[in-house]
Amino acid sequence: MNPILNTSADKFPYQLLIDPPQSGAWNMGVDEALLELAASAGIATLRFYQWSEPTLSLGYFQSWQDRAQHPASRKAALVRRSSGGGAILHDRELTYSIALPATHPFSQEPQRLYGITHEVIVSVLRRSLAANGRLELFCEGNSQSLQEPFLCFQRRSPGDIVYLESTSGNFAETHKIVGSAQRRRFGAVLQHGSILLKRSPATPELPGLEDLCGTSPGPDALARELLEELPNRLKIAVFLGLLSPLLTSRATELCEKKYSLAAWTCRR
162 Rama sector, left if φ>0, alpha if ψ -120 to 50, beta otherwise: beta
163 within a domain of the structure (yes/no): no
Q: Helix crossing, 219-233 with 110-129: angle to 10°?
A: 130
122 within a domain of the structure (yes/no): yes
99 within a domain of the structure (yes/no): yes
Beta-strand runs (E) in 109-169: 135-137, 161-167
Reading the chain (268 residues) residue by residue, the pLDDT tens digits are 333 334 444 667 789 999 999 999 999 999 999 999 999 999 899 999 999 999 999 999 999 999 998 999 999 999 999 999 999 999 999 999 999 999 998 988 888 999 999 999 999 999 888 766 689 898 865 445 557 899 999 999 889 999 988 766 666 678 999 999 999 999 999 999 999 999 999 999 999 999 998 888 999 999 999 998 998 888 888 777 788 899 999 999 999 999 999 999 998 8
111 within a domain of the structure (yes/no): yes
155 within a domain of the structure (yes/no): no
Q: How many domains does the structure of the chain reveal? A: 1
- Note the pTM of the prediction, 2 decimals: 0.90
Residue 111 belongs to domain spanning: 12-130+177-265
CATH number of the domain that residue 62 is part of: 3.30.930.10
Angstrom CA distances, 14 to 41, 241, 261, stand at 13, 9, 31
19 within a domain of the structure (yes/no): yes
135 within a domain of the structure (yes/no): no
167 within a domain of the structure (yes/no): no
Catalytic residues: 152
